[in-house]
Amino acid sequence: MLEEICPEALEWGKWLFAQECQFLRGVQTLTDLIEFSQPEVSFIGRSNVGKSSLLNALTGRTTLARTSHTPGRTQQLNFFSLGNRLILVDMPGYGYAQASKKSIAQWNELIHLYFQGRPTLERVYLLIDGRHGLKNNDLEMMELLDTTAVSYRVVVTKVDKISSSQREEIKGNLENKIKGHAAAFPKICLTSSEAKEGIAELRADIAQFAIGSPKI
């Protein structure tokens, strides 16, 4: 679970994520990257971390983000407008060993440049698979976000696949780990796309960045 959130924030998040979510643009190169008027939040994590499933659960849709048993399917930055109030960005997964070195280099460059020069980017949600915990490339991503001074929050996925004691262990380990990372939000989100655990709370957390968000 996330920390306790007031009912007004939960209602605002529920309302916002019930609005139309429209695909705007897929970006594979920096020259295709344009600015939008709405604030943005982005989602990134290792390939097969459950990012597409989480986005679908947040928006209450089954086809917003493509899910696949084959890692590495998201090979571009996908921009969605949520109710014309907030941009959701589905970012390429990392850590997929079978992708070509050229593809990996291109993805890494695009991600790095996006983080460096995106004034509308309010927060990145860094997804960590609850079954596996932090990997070296997750730590590298945290260091990149620290370097580029992009605020990020760790979201643990697939917690329905682990026991209660394992949840507490990974939560404690992650909270200790992020203490040394300047750009990291100190609280960890625990979620399950299948069981819908933590989804309402995560919606409320994301919705605070939307245009018209109530001052709660």
Q: Which residues contact 91 (CB under 8 A, 6 or more apart)?
A: 42, 43, 44, 74, 77, 111, 114
CA-angle at 202, arms to 151 and 81, nearest 5°? 75
E strands in the chain: 21-27, 40-45, 77-82, 86-90, 121-129, 152-157, 189-190
Closest alpha carbon to 146 in 108, 106, 111, 115: 115
pLDDT at residue 1 in the model: 44
Alpha-carbon span 45 to 77, nearest angstrom? 13
Query: Structure tokens of 95?
Result: 């850590």
Asked if 115 and 145 touch (Cβ cutoff 8 Å), the reply is yes
Place of tokens 């019930």: 18
Each residue's pLDDT, cut to its tens digit, for the chain (216 residues) gives 446 789 999 999 999 999 999 999 999 888 888 999 999 999 999 988 999 999 999 999 877 765 444 444 457 899 999 999 999 999 988 876 566 777 777 778 888 889 988 999 999 999 999 999 999 999 999 999 999 999 999 999 999 999 999 999 999 999 999 998 999 999 999 999 999 999 999 999 999 999 999 876
Alpha-carbon span 156 to 127, nearest angstrom? 6
3-state secondary structure of 23: strand
Q: Kindly list the structural domains of the chain, giving each domain's residue range(s) and its CATH number in brackets, ordered by start.
A: 20-198 (3.40.50.300)
